[in-house]
Structure 1
């Protein structure tokens, strides 16, 4: 069981590295929606080419009715939450937008309790509280007075719901498909979903303007998109949705570390404390699983 938690934590860490590639692509002239479009398009092309060469059977759907899984993971989740997240940033701050995005575990737990019968245990709720406070501190959302515009709050909460829906739709999809198929179709539908707001022709010109931007686009698509979604979806096969969403919150911790170590963002007690709280939440979720596994064996 530990390896599945490790997969989810690794996925969160890789998502947290995405800021590295976004910095380069933004400096080259890509807007945030364009960067998302490039990321998902590269991920879709790489994933489909890889499966076409290695195992074409993984691209075959059992029935066309199952497309709703991937409309859910790709359009309703990935494309939707990115759009809402950037709309929130435009109306507030990155820190507040990140905090509202990481309300996702709350929604995952609520959805999972209703749809999958997952129990809301005291340990889960405690870990969730640690995660929300920790994310707020790690992202800097609690520093200074926060004056939240109603539209920013609405977009931010919508991004959290959209983020949570990947876990929900992913759980449904896992009943019929493995992580490779789910990731391939998710990226395809996500790329289609962001197409209207990403100005693809202009974005392509910027990406192909230099070898550096091409490499960064591919790295962002493979290392920070294809690989983490494969790992996270695989982890969902053995970890319940509520716990998975909390473990994946290692993402803002890694993102904060990247900002501090590579981009000179301030290192303070609040951020360090926030990281410690998120990691404590992950430990809290893992300890009883490890104990149970040892007892059972």
Structure 2
């Protein structure tokens, strides 16, 4: 099946546009952790409205299943964002981004234990190609150097681990719950957990501007609601390890966004990295999907 991979890639591509909204909200005066809370709470509000209008019963969950949403909301979204922002304080952004994209490796290992997914040569090859591509895309290769502290190393790896946990808990939850249920409670749990420590209440005066509210709505809808809906739908039909590798198209989109919208330089090495990440997304697909793609390419 081709469409689940397209859903995952589409969701990851939307994640890659998040920098547009973060740049503007940061300029307005919000801190990174406050932006995370705004993203989570605005997204959960949109998810609740969508769910209520389509099927209100989807908002019902069993108390014993709360661990799924603690996993996706707290252990993944909240933990990942905290680690990522802490890592960015300790090292260069490029180094933090490289450590973040150790996530597919964590998914590969965890999927073996939780879902008994096979660690195949194809997956390992795709993972290696992906990681190399990410190194080029974020500019860490071929000649960049960065001193990484021990705290930076562990928080960077923690971001990768937290990022990977959404695929694990999301896959497990998808067996029992609808995509809307999973994404709604993921962001509701994350937003409520981070709000008390975010200091957002002291920045409420920044919300009086209509343009600010527009950016918050855009942040909640495009790189969040639509992105996670697409990714979670695709995840229902794809192994978490494969999904995690395909989702690394996100830094590619982020790089291209910076190039088109913010006139950031795009080097030859970054272009090579983009091609490597795309090729890894093709390699990791199953044989039937690749044959379909090859037929379409031949016919065009």
TM-score, normalising length: structure 2: 0.94
Return the alpha-carbon distance in structure 2 between the equivalents of residues 68 and 203 of structure 1. Answer: 32
Aligned partner of 2:217 in structure 1 is 218
Alignment of 1:87-166 (within 5 A): 87-142=86-141, 143-166=143-166
- Structure 1 gaps, min length 5: none
Alignment of 1:229-268 (within 5 A): 229-268=228-267
Shift of 1:126: 0.5
Question: Is the CA contact 2:282–2:290 (under 8 Å) kept in the aligned structure 1?
Answer: no
Aligned residues: 292
Question: Is the CA contact 2:77–2:190 (under 8 Å) kept in the aligned structure 1?
Answer: yes
- Give the secondary-structure state (helix, strand or coil) at the position aligned to 1:249: helix
**1:81-140 Cα distance to aligned partner (Å, 9 max, x none):** 000000000010111111111100000000001110111111111100011111111012
Change (3 A) 1:38 1:282: same
Return the alpha-carbon distance in structure 1 between the equivalents of residues 208 and 255 of structure 2. Answer: 30
Aligned partner of 2:296 in structure 1 is none
Return the alpha-carbon distance in structure 2 between the equivalents of residues 205 and 247 of structure 1. Answer: 40
Alignment of 1:1-297 (within 5 A): 1-61=1-61, 63-142=62-141, 143-206=143-206, 208-286=207-285, 288-291=287-290
TM-score, normalising length: structure 1: 0.95
Return the alpha-carbon distance in structure 1 between the equivalents of residues 217 and 167 of structure 2. Answer: 25
Question: Is the CA contact 1:15–1:228 (under 8 Å) kept in the aligned structure 2?
Answer: yes
Shift of 1:292: 6.8
Task: Name whichever of 29-38 and 261-270 sits farther off.
Answer: 261-270
- Structure 2 gaps, min length 5: 294-300
Aligned partner of 2:298 in structure 1 is none
Change (3 A) 1:203 1:249: farther
Question: Is the CA contact 1:38–1:203 (under 8 Å) kept in the aligned structure 2?
Answer: no
Shift of 1:200: 2.1
Change (3 A) 1:266 1:292: closer
